[in-house]
Structure formats: C-alpha cells, structure tokens
Structure 1
Amino acid sequence: MDQKTPTSQPSPAENKPRWGGRWKLFAVIAVCAAPMIASYLTYYVIKPQSRNNYGELLDPRDYPVPELGSTALDGKPLTLDAYQGKWLMLQADGGACPKTCQDKLFEMRQLRLMQGKEMERIERVWLITDDQPLPTMVMREYDGTRLLRVKPELLKAWLPTEAGTSAADHIYLIDPRGHLMMRFPKDADPSKVKKDLSKLLRASAIG
C-alpha cells in the first residue's frame, strides 16, 4: 500500500524572516499615516477645554457638503470637490457684490497672503447665490478667487449661521478632505482669523 508523502510545512525559522518583513512594512505605513491621523484626532475627536479658537468649530458630520447645483461662470458644472486637498476660505453672496461682499473678498485675499509660504495651501471661494453679472472691477481686484454659481435654496440648507445673521455675513472654512469645519463671526477681526488659520496650518499635515 502506497504511503502519501507528508506535505512539508515551513519551519519556525523560515517563518521568522517572513513575519519580520511584514512587521517592518506595517511600521512604515504607521509612521507615514501618523501625522494625518493625529491632525484628524486633534480637530475632530479631541477637543480640550483649553483650546481658544476665535472661529466656531463645526462638527463635519452635521454639515456634509451637499449637491449645490454649482457651475462655473460659463455654465459648465463645477463643484467644491475640484479644490479638495486645499483649505478653502468660503463666502456666499449675490453677484452684485455690495460693500459687505467686497469686504469679505478683501479679507480672504489678505488672510491668505498673510500666511506667507503656507498661502499655497489655501484657496478662496465665492459661492454666487444668483444669476446677476459680476462687476468687472471686482473680478479684476480679486482675481484668483474661485467663482461658483450655486442654487441659493440648497446653500441655505447647508451653511449654519449665527442668530440674526445670514450666510452672507460669514466666512467659512472647509478642510482639505472637504469637511465644513469652522465659521467666523459677522464682521470678524482679521487678526484673530489669521491666528486660527495659522494654528490649523501648523498643526495639520494635510492640505
């Protein structure tokens, strides 16, 4: 009667180098992912009482970015996802852009410039809430601001406001993963907004 040759099994000595290599790979992945995980935990999970933010932190789970029916000025579809990977300073206002609108455009431009070498991590976005033509001088003065026309009823349901204000009174901040995460008060103090932005950029390994 023929006897079957037993299947050979790797010896513990042979398994050791294989598992050693895997642990090294896991360690490299962990080291690379650690800054990103730490940034996420710092701003969305760990909220120490000593933190002193000027802008109001928003829980991104409460304000997922909806479909806004947004388009570029030429009418072609364009969404905020096009700028994912950057920090977005966001304002919403009508195309006529009165003085309050222009003030926010000015503040966003200056706040970005004040970040120095970190400024490339930030984009400025104006969500235009109607079909009015934009003033030529405003477009020239604030060239570089990303312009998207949106459906105002969809926008209103998304952006949270302070009591007695509208979305047009605020500047908002979206993180590089596309989460709405901060709202600055009406007539915000630019120096305090700058401090918040600087803290976020220093602490974050993303964007």
Structure 2
Amino acid sequence: MTDASRPGRSPRTILLLILALTLGSMGLAGVLRFSGWRPASLQNKGELLNPYVDLRDHALTLTAGGVYRWQDSPRTWRIVVMPEQCDGVRRAECVRLLVTLDKVWRLLGPQAGRVHVVWAGALPIATEGMPEVRAIHPDARLRAALAAPAEGRGDPVWLIDPYGFVVMRYPSGFDPAGLRSDLARLLKVN
C-alpha cells in the first residue's frame, strides 16, 4: 500500500488544523489580555497608586538625628508607616504592626538589605534587633502626601520605590504575605 492510497488526513487538512490551533490560541490569549484577566501570581496584593505620589524632594528628620533622604541609599525600597498614635490602647496594635513588618523584612532573605522600614513617630518597642527600622519625626507634609481615604480604624502601610515615589498602599489589617510577595517581585525587577 502506498502513501497516496492509505486512508487518513490529507496534508491540506493537517495544515488547516495547525493553522486553526495557532490562530485559536492567539485569539484566546488576546481575549484574556484585553478583558483584564491576569494570573493570580502576577496580581498586586496592595493598591497600586495612580498617579504616584512624588516624595523625591522631601527630606525627613531621623529621631536619632540627621536627615533621611530617599536617594541616599540607591536601589532601596521603603515600607513607610505613619501611625496616628501608639500609646494607651493602640500600643499593642503598633507593636503587632512593627513585629509583622520585621517578619516581612526577614522573609525577604538576601534581598532584605535593600529594604528599610520607616516608622513615623516614637517606636512602640526597642528595635535593637531590627536593623531595617528607621524612626523619623512625624511630618505634617509627609502625612498630607500620604493621606489615605478613611477605611476604618488602623494605619495603612505605604511602599516607596528607590527614587522616592509612593507606588503602593496596603490598608490597615493587610495580609503580610501579600506585602512580602509584592516586594519580592519588585526587588527582582529593580
């Protein structure tokens, strides 16, 4: 039996099938892309700000003395917290938030050296074992720049890129794993 006499698909049918599969997969990818669908692993856990808040010319004063500038540490991301108050009943919440941010920092592993936690105001606990924490004096201009919409009690956390732009916001009670995954992804890129 020769190839021509063997029953089956003709080369033209096979070519059309390959073409249909190729164009069909491209069409499906286009529909998913333009419908806004993204894989869960690529979605931000925090709220991406648009437009970004520009803090490049805003120098902060460290509580230990000196000035904290955004561009003094190149390639360094900042996690900024501006709690309303950390005394009395709220002290326990502030301690919990600071300990959570320390865990996020430690889970970044070798990349942790490229992240600072900037805490505005008095620290609720001693931070000798937390090298990433930079305590700054509360600043009305910074507080105004980071004004958040009221979403209930608590303090939001802000993520600032190495150049001094506020790029993401995490509401009070955020999932620390989400902050860590967003930060880990950003540290790989920049």
In the superposition, the TM-score normalised over structure 1's length comes to: 0.60
Is the alpha carbon distance of 1:183 and 1:175 closer, same or farther for their aligned partners in structure 2, counting shifts above 3 Å? same
Q: Deviations over 1:139-178 (max 9, x none)?
A: 3354541111132x32331114243347x61111011111
> Distance between the aligned counterparts of 1:64 and 1:78, measured in 2?
16
Q: Name the SS of the counterpart of 2:82 in structure 1.
A: strand
Q: Where do 5+ consecutive residues of structure 2 fail to align?
A: 1-35
Structure showing the higher strand proportion among its residues: 2
1:147 to 132, 135, 145: 135
| Cα distance in 1 for residues equivalent to 2:136 and 2:165 | 18
Does 1:200 find its partner at 2:186?
yes
Whether the aligned pair in 1 keeps the contact of 2:120 and 2:137 (CA below 8 Å) is yes
Whether contact under 8 Å (2:56, 2:70) holds in the other structure is no
Indicate the percent of aligned positions where both proteins have the same amino acid: 24
Q: What stretches of structure 1 of length at least 5 have no aligned partner?
A: 1-47
TM-score, length basis structure 2: 0.65
Q: How many residues are aligned here?
A: 149
What's the counterpart of residue 72 of structure 1? 62
Amino acid at match of 1:57: L
Structure 2 residue corresponding to 1:54, chosen from 45, 58, 61: 45
Q: Does structure 1 retain, via aligned residues, the 8 Å contact 2:77–2:162?
A: yes
Aligned to 1:164: 151
- Mapped to 2, the partners of 1:99 and 1:52 lie a distance apart of 31
Find the counterpart in structure 2 of residue 110 from structure 1: 103
SS at match of 2:61: coil
Which of 115, 127, 134 matches 1:122? 115
Q: How far off its partner does 1:79 sit? A: 3.5
